[in-house]
Amino acid sequence: MKNAEQKPLFESGNELAAYAAKQINYHVMGYYPITPSTQIAEYLDQMGADGAHTIALMPAEGEHSAAGICYGAAAGGGRVFNATSANGLLYALEQLPVQSGTRMPMVLNIACRTVSGPLSIKGDHSDVMYTLNTGWIILFAESPQEVYDCNICALRIAEQVRLPVIVAFDGFFTSHQKRNCYVFKDDQTVRDFLGPCKEQFGVLDPAHPVTVGSYMNEPDIINNKYQLHLAMEESRTAIPAVFAAYEQLSGRRLRTLKAYCCEDAEVLLFVLGSAYLTARAAVDRLRGEGKRVGVFTLGVLRPFPADEVAQVCRNAKTVLVADRQDSYGARGGNMSLEIRAALQKSGATVRVISRIYGLGGRDFYEKDALDLFSLGYDENTPDFDYIGKNEGDTHFTPKPYFAPITEKKASGLITCTEENGKVLVKGATVRETLARPKRLAPGHGACPGCGIPVNVNLLLRGIEGNVVLLFQTGCGMVVTTGYPKTAFKVPYVHNLFQNGAATLAGLSKMYHQRQARGELPAGEITFVMVSGDGGLDIGMGSAIGTALRGDPVILFEYDNGGYMNTGYQLSYSTPLGAKSATSHLGEVSVGKGFFHKDMPRIMAATGMPYVATAAESDPNDFIRKAAKAQHYAKSHGTAYIKCLSACPLNWGDRPNTERRVIAAAVDSCYFPLYEVEQGITTLTYDPEQKGKRIPVEAWLKMMGRTRHLCEERYESVRQALQGEVDRRFERLKIEAAHPKL
Amino acid sequence: MNDRYSDEKMHNGAAVTLPCVNENGCYEMRLESIGGLGANLCGKLLGELGATYLGLNAAAFSSYGSEKRGSPVKSFVRYSTRGSEILHNSPVERPHLLALFHGALAGVLPVTAGVGENCALVINTSATPDQMRHELRLHAGQIYCVNALQLALESKSRANMVMLGAIVRAAGFIPLEAVKSLITDTLGKKYPAMLENNLKGLTLGYEAVESKEFSPDEKYAYVPYREVRSKWGYATAPIGGANPHYGSTVSNDLSPSREGFIPLFLPEKCIHCGLCDSTCPDMVFQFTRGEYRGRSAMMNRGLDYHHCKGCLRCVDVCPTEALVAGKEAEHRDKKWFVRNKDLIVENIDFEPAGADASVTGEAYLDEKRVDGGLM
């Protein structure tokens, strides 16, 4: 059979995953951005904006929900796609066995990345190994070309054995590296290879009602799981058959196990992913020196090809298994453990040495492969170790640059008194708080003109005494704590994107517990959570929970209107119509498709004692609100402040103009300044009263991300946004005028 | 249909011959830059050039997570002939061609690490090859100087287009016509209005290089490429990644983040209102207690320029024009440079650094950068 017509491209793994998805034209992709897999959704959005596919891209508010969208869509009988990495995968992990256990095929791409913490965005295999027990078939691609090929085969395998399939590949090394590659010239070639989508159960077929997701205990669940096991066993023949059919079509053969110079080798190396290619270069070099070495890798991790592993190792004296992750305490990464088990089962007496390498994206050089091979010839080398670790400089004791900020030094500038349910603040101005020591040190890595440190500093100016900070993942966290340095001069904790408020609640509770037990001295610490970059999309549940419990903490949101830490994808607070990497402009797309989230209103609905919005364009008001938040957190419960935070890089404006841009957002009433104090709303600045109200267009035209909305062809979008801004502001004015609201 | 995929850009002519390759059969390039200068895009263009216009195998990737404005960025390109597979995925250690997109690039490891006598160096600078060799303490190599910023202004193009032209010239084996086709097919389709200027910038870069060869004359030692290791290792670092060295970013010298402008301070005009301090993201202003108009007040004593990234927010909010924008080159001795008032150490061993790195998405950034404005 003649191969189908193909065309050459020069693309990365992420681009090719997206390209395959476009050619398949999946029905639905539920996703949530996380480095390094984000580009897959970005490229699909870009192509979709120009009408290259009709996939419904659904940006969830977190990976757990993204997986939920995918599950629901799969239950609807169509074709479903997703991509994620690292902690995003782990956040979605609970949904994976649901998907496989109820036998809903779909394809999930994993651009493999280090699992936090400490947080690293770089590539290793610590995330994908968590999926070994989920009942998903797992393909592993070594190159961008294989990412493309695997993505097409994956769906056919999935639909054939009724199991979901993961396509995993190295984050960055494969996801971001551009290589020569081939794709099918005609999308129809791919669609013909897959055939029509045949559904098993028709949840969308009222004529044949079916219950998906039974409540099932003993004696039945074991049968369900045995069915899943049988499907995995079936895939042992189905996968090579699909690979063979794909070879007929493409001329390229995917393999469950790939071996290079293994036939007569006495020392074998196993590595997974892009390192396999580098190791082949080392094999060539050593073969040139007459050493009998070889390397092998797996293209399929589930079902685990144990027989093939045993077969390829049958003549070797030593097998060196290098894992890019560790199963801590097991003395080997997961591949090492599985290969050992496979060899034991086959009765082989080969010596197996396990090594951990390349964690957190540490590069794998040819020299590393050569070093590994040399271990194979070393009789005395330990069975298990890490390579590439660094002892450090034993003479290094860093000297403090600053004296700690004592409670006394940070106090005495502002006083708050409560009268008739209102808090009166004295001393909360820029001038009067100039003496407040800065809790942040300079030298952090935020972009020039970034609003985050500006807003954090304004907030902290209003806060007296000891402060403990918690940042959720985001730009603010990344640019301040790049190891081995930190910009924080006060105690600080990071926790992941969705969990900051709860973490801080636990921390503050421990403080009060230990004080109550006499373990810590009397005194006060103000606990502040800082989140932005969409952190109160994915972290909204945790923030609401904290507010409902009334934990004595301040929740501070810097709203920069997008996921800026991952390169500006839309968040729920991105303005309607704004451009982002997941809301492109195009022939069939007009930027972000829904209104900005009204987070202060959501928080106010919890009945928390203090909710406020603040803007750097009115710094005195900002400091005053911070002081009130501290007062309420101390005496009444949780306080929440949200500010609009400028992002020159992604808003597309000049760094020096940011305070004016923020002022325009306030004057246009896109971001009105108000507070809700024990349920009573006060408008703290009314641009109409001051004669300063401007149309929202005047703000939109200041930023590259929204400037297009001022063109005539986007008039309806602009008007919709203006209408929503007007509606929200009218409601606010009514609430502010009413004595009980 | 999106033009990045709709088009075939098959190379029609014969494959080029690589002038030299390393032991793995590869011709290797390393581009060193700071975010915002377009080195990442330039690297991708070079990769695409090799893959689809020169009949080669190509690989292109960047030092990941380094997309912020002002942060150091490395971009790597490998070429091999079609019969020879590119197996390496690690950074380019010993380049055949090194391009420096910025005259004063910072880093613990010198940007010229791994540069030997057979390397071509393309440098964006107004200086001469002799001056640059001295400044870079270069062991050996052929230096090609090009004033990319100036030529970008002249051609109303961007520095990376000019650099691309100079790189093609220095590489020696790439036909300029192939690059013109690439630019026309890619950027030209996306941004037709800028095509003419981009081609002009490319050609100017190709033509305007000043070149000189330096043999290894023992003046400066060869610096091998190596991994930068931290002083805190597994035997010395506090467990759990905890960092007790609070406020230690103060030892970063962020001057390399600046793009030519700084705020100048005219203290006689200052009313010590503190608005500058309220808008500065980088805690540059040093206020201490003093007496202003007969009353005790916090007074602005000056700026610690180590941490100023040149955003000029302060100039924008100053109500009395006590802060004005100036060209840094005209104010080498910054009169109101005062040290951070809170430091308790005598000396700091400053580490030159750009703004840190975390933005990793590229689709949106590419689009915006080509749109222009950043140069």
Distance from B209 to chain A by nearest Cα, in Å?
Answer: 29
Of B47, B241, B373, the CB nearest to A483: B241
Q: Quick check: B369 pLDDT over 80?
A: no
Domain residue spans in chain A?
7-250, 257-386, 415-589+597-696
User: Would B232 be classed as within a structural domain?
Assistant: no
Q: Coil, helix or strand for A725?
A: helix
- What confidence tens digit (pLDDT) does each residue in B249-268 have? 999 999 878 878 999 999 99
Q: For the residues A469-473, what does the mean pLDDT come to?
A: 97
- Whether B367 is in a domain gets the answer no
Peptide bond into A303 cis (omega under 30): yes
**What is the per-residue pLDDT for A1?**
54
What is the pLDDT confidence band of residue B108, given thresholds at 50, 70 and 90? low
- For range A551-570, the mean pLDDT: 95
B313: containing domain: 248-352
Give the mean pLDDT of chain A. Answer: 96
Same domain, B217 and B293: no
Question: Mutual orientation of helices B159-171 and B148-155 as an angle, nearest 10°?
Answer: 120
Q: How confident is the model at residue A595 (pLDDT cuts 50, 70, 90)?
A: very high
Suggest the residue from B280, B364, B368, B374 to mutate for an interface test with chain A (most A CBs closer than 10 A). B364
ipTM, two decimals, is 0.94
Q: What is the mean pLDDT of residues B148-173?
A: 93
Together in a domain, B48 and B176: yes
What is the arithmetic mean of pLDDT over B259-279?
95
Task: State the total domains in chain B.
Answer: 2
CB neighbour class for B327 (10 Å; exposed up to 12, middle 13-18, buried from 19): exposed
Average pLDDT over residues A430-452: 96
Q: Do B345 and A399 touch (CB under 8 A)?
A: yes
- For residues B33 and B70, state if they share a domain: yes
pLDDT confidence of residue B30: 95
3-state helix/strand/coil string of A635-679 = HCCCEEEEEECCCHHHHCCCHHHHHHHHHHHHHCCCCCEEEEECC
pLDDT at B9: 47
The answer to whether B249 contacts A361, with C-beta atoms less than 8 Å apart, is no
Q: Chain B residue with minimal CA distance to A437?
A: B342
> Is B47 exposed, middle or buried, given 0-12, 13-18 or 19+ CB atoms closer than 10 A?
buried
Average pLDDT over residues B325-348: 93
* A180·B365 Cβ contact <8 A: no
Percentage of residues in chain A with pLDDT exceeding 70?
Answer: 100
Nearest by CB to residue A401, choosing from B23, B86, B247, is B247
Q: Which of B248, B313, B357 sits opposite A655 (nearest CB)?
A: B313
Is the torsion defined by CA of B225, B231, B235, B241 positive or negative? negative
Give a yes or no: residue B7 inside a domain.
no
Do both B217 and B256 map to the same domain? Answer: no
Contact at CB, B87 and A281, closer than 8 angstroms:
yes
Substitution target in A444, A589, A624, A659 with the highest count of B β-carbons within 10 Å is: A444
Are B306 and A442 a contacting pair at CB < 8 A? yes
Rg of chain B (C-alpha set):
23
What's the CATH number for A7-250? 3.40.50.970
With an 8 Å Cβ cutoff, are B343 and A479 in contact?
A: no
pLDDT band at B66 (very low <50, low <70, confident <90, very high): very low
CB contact under 8 A, B364 and A580: yes
Lowest mean pLDDT: which of A169-173, A260-264, A394-398, B357-361? B357-361
User: Is there a domain that residue B300 lies in?
Assistant: yes
Residue B231 lies in a domain: no
Least Cα distance to B87 among A652, A635, A546, A271 occurs for A271
Contact A486 B273 (CB under 8 A): no
- Which tens digits make up the pLDDT trace of A650-685? 999 999 999 999 999 999 999 999 999 999 999 999
Burial A227-255 (b: 16+ CB within 10 A, else e): ebeebbeebeebbbebbeebbebbeeebb
Region class of B96: left (phi > 0), else alpha (psi between -120 and 50), else beta: alpha
**Cβ contacts of A145 on chain B, cutoff 8 Å:** none
pLDDT of residue B357: 41
**In this complex, do A396 and B231 lie within 8 Å of one another by their Cβ atoms?**
yes
Same domain as B218, residue B74:
yes
In a shared domain, residues B146 and B256: no
B342 pLDDT more than 70: yes
Same domain, yes or no, for B259 and B318? yes
Q: pLDDT for A215-248, tens place per residue?
A: 999 999 999 999 999 999 999 999 999 999 999 9
Can you say how many angstroms the Cα of residue B199 is from the centroid of all Cα atoms in its chain?
22
If you ran DSSP here, which 8-state letter would residue A580 be given?
B
For A415-589+597-696, give the CATH class: alpha beta
Q: Do B87 and A280 touch (CB under 8 A)?
A: yes
Average pLDDT over residues B323-335: 91
Query: Which pLDDT score is estimated for A204?
Result: 94
Q: Do A488 and B1 touch (CB under 8 A)?
A: no
Q: Which of B64, B93, B300, B339 to mutate to test the interface with A (most CBs of A within 10 A)?
A: B64
Facing B316 at nearest CB: one of A401, A568, A656: A656
- Residue B333: the pLDDT is 87
Q: Provide, as residue numbers in chain B, all residues whose Cβ is less than 8 Å from the Cβ of A180.
A: 51, 57-58
Residue B365 lies in a domain: no
Q: Give the minimum alpha-carbon distance from A382 to chain B in angstroms, rounded to a whole number.
A: 19
Q: What mean pLDDT is predicted for residues B244-249? A: 97
Cβ contacts (< 8 Å) between A648 and chain B: which residues? 69, 311
Q: Look up the CATH number of the domain holding residue B271.
A: 3.30.70.20
Mean pLDDT of chain B: 87
Last residue of a domain, one of B161, B194, B225: B225
Q: Looking at this protein, which amino acid is placed at residue A327?
A: S
CA proximity to B95, closest of B142, B148, B154, B54: B142
The answer to whether residue B172 scores a pLDDT higher than 50 is yes
Q: Give per-residue pLDDT as tens, B185-217.
A: 988 888 888 899 999 999 999 999 999 999 998
Contact assignment for B233 to A391 by CB distance below 8 Å = yes
What is the C-alpha separation between A313 and A339, in angstroms, rounded?
Answer: 10
Cα A617 to the center of its chain, rounded Å: 31
Least confident of A514-528, A697-711, B90-104, B295-309: B90-104
Mean pLDDT of A47-66: 97
Given this model, what pLDDT does residue B13 score? 53
Quick check: is B214 in a domain?
A: yes
Residue of A nearest to B75 (CA): A177
For residues B167 and B55, membership in a common domain is answered with yes
- Cβ contacts of B273 on chain A, cutoff 8 Å: 430-431
Q: Are A454 and B278 in contact (CB under 8 A)?
A: yes
| pLDDT interval class at B368 (50, 70, 90) | very low
Chain A contact set for B282 (CB, 8 A): 442-444, 446, 453
The answer to whether residues B31 and B140 belong to one domain is: yes
The reply to whether A257-386 and A415-589+597-696 are identical in fold is yes
Least confident range from A194-203, A690-699, B160-169, B304-313: namely A194-203
pLDDT for residue A258 is more than 60: yes
H or E segment and range at residue A336: helix A334-346
CATH code: domain A257-386 is 3.40.50.920
How far is B266 from A216, CA to CA, in rounded Å?
77
Whether B214 and B83 map to the same domain: the answer is: yes
Peptide bond into A521 cis (omega under 30): no
Nearest CB to A484 within list B232, B240, B289: B232
B106, pLDDT greater than 90: no
**For residues A463-486, average pLDDT:** 95
Residue at B230 is within a domain? no
Residues B140 and B255 in one domain: no
Q: Between chain A and chain B, how many beta carbons pairs sit less than 8 Å apart?
A: 353
CB contact under 8 A, A568 and B364: yes
Mutation site, B44, B84, B279, B312, interface A, largest A CB count within 10 A: B279
pLDDT value at residue B14: 65
- Asked if the Cβ–Cβ distance from B246 to A390 is below 8 Å, we say no
CA distances to A250, A483, B256 from A151, rounded to whole Å, are 13, 36, 43
Q: How far apart are CA A375 and CA A270, in angstroms?
A: 13
Q: Which residues in chain B are contacts of A7 at CB distance < 8 A?
A: 8, 10
Cβ-nearest to A401 among B8, B259, B345: B345
Nearest Cβ partner of A10 from B52, B233, B311? B52
Asked if A614 contacts A456 with a C-beta cutoff of 8 angstroms, the reply is no
